[in-house]
Amino acid sequence: MVCQGIVEKIEASYDKEYALEWDNVGLLVGRDDKEVKKIYIALDATDEVIANALAFGADMLITHHPLLFSPIKRITSSDFIGRRIIQLIQNDISYYAAHTNYDVLGMSDLSGAVLGLENSETLEVTAVEGDLGIGKVAKLESSVTLGEFSKQVKDRFHLGSVKVFGDLDDQVSVVAISPGSGSSMIRPAINKGADVLITGDIDHHTGIDALDQGLRVIDAGHYGIEHIFIEDMKEFILQQIPEVIVATEPLKSPFIIV
């Protein structure tokens, strides 16, 4: 199938119109008429990911986070983004990013399901129509301690550790989850009456300020939650386009704790 056909399959389920206004999604580099037989899927288009895609012989690379967020005035080998774009073009790899459109139409439900949330509602509605947006919030069947719930988050998302703001003995019953960078989701979580927010990229001041407002925070890391995109997109592609061969970037945190 040509690249444009694959793009149409993706966007039939993850319409670009649902992406947030600051985002940059869709086909960002390469030919839309490229014949695609092999697809490589990752969270970010890093140097390592592109090298692995090349080694796999990929015709197309799909990531969650866009390589290009802001307009650029030149593409040269002296800039690391420019080098990546040049490498993709030289090797005739079409590059596609599904970011906040996927967050709204896929990641929110998926992260809630991984966490085992039932009868959830959207944490922050971003769509003009319907209950669609970023994150999920739900009431647990029975309350648990923050420590117990933190362990559940670690287990369900296959994490070695999480950072917790709050007393581990506190009881929590209403939980919110917002994959990715979640500082802006503190207020929506408080407004929804959440006892705890699971998200990523929470700095010291944001964490302690949330706690002072009665919201505990479990920082599971930006990558820690959003890595679920990789396997989910793989299953989507194989279901929609069974004739292609798909490989994925191995799960690997971008940092280590020592």
pLDDT at residue 155 greater than cutoff 90: yes
Q: Which CATH class is domain 3-98+227-248?
A: alpha beta
* Average pLDDT, integer, range 74-99: 97
pLDDT in tens, 216-246: 999 999 999 999 999 999 999 999 999 999 9
Residue 84: how many CB atoms within 10 A of its CB? 20
Q: What angle do CA 102, 138, 124 make, to 5 degrees?
A: 45
- Residue type (1 letter), 65: H
pLDDT at residue 258 greater than cutoff 90: no
CA distances from 29 to 47, 51, 141, 226 (A): 15, 16, 46, 23
- Residue type (1 letter), 127: A
pLDDT in tens, 35-66: 999 999 999 999 999 999 999 999 999 999 99
Residue 258: how many CB atoms within 10 A of its CB? 3
Closest CA to 65 of 200, 197, 240: 200
CATH fold of 102-219, please? 3.40.1390
* Maximal CA-CA distance, the chain: 57
> Where do you find CATH 3.40.1390.30 in the chain?
3-98+227-248, 102-219
Q: What share of the chain is helix, strand, coil (3-state, %, to 5)?
A: 40, 25, 35
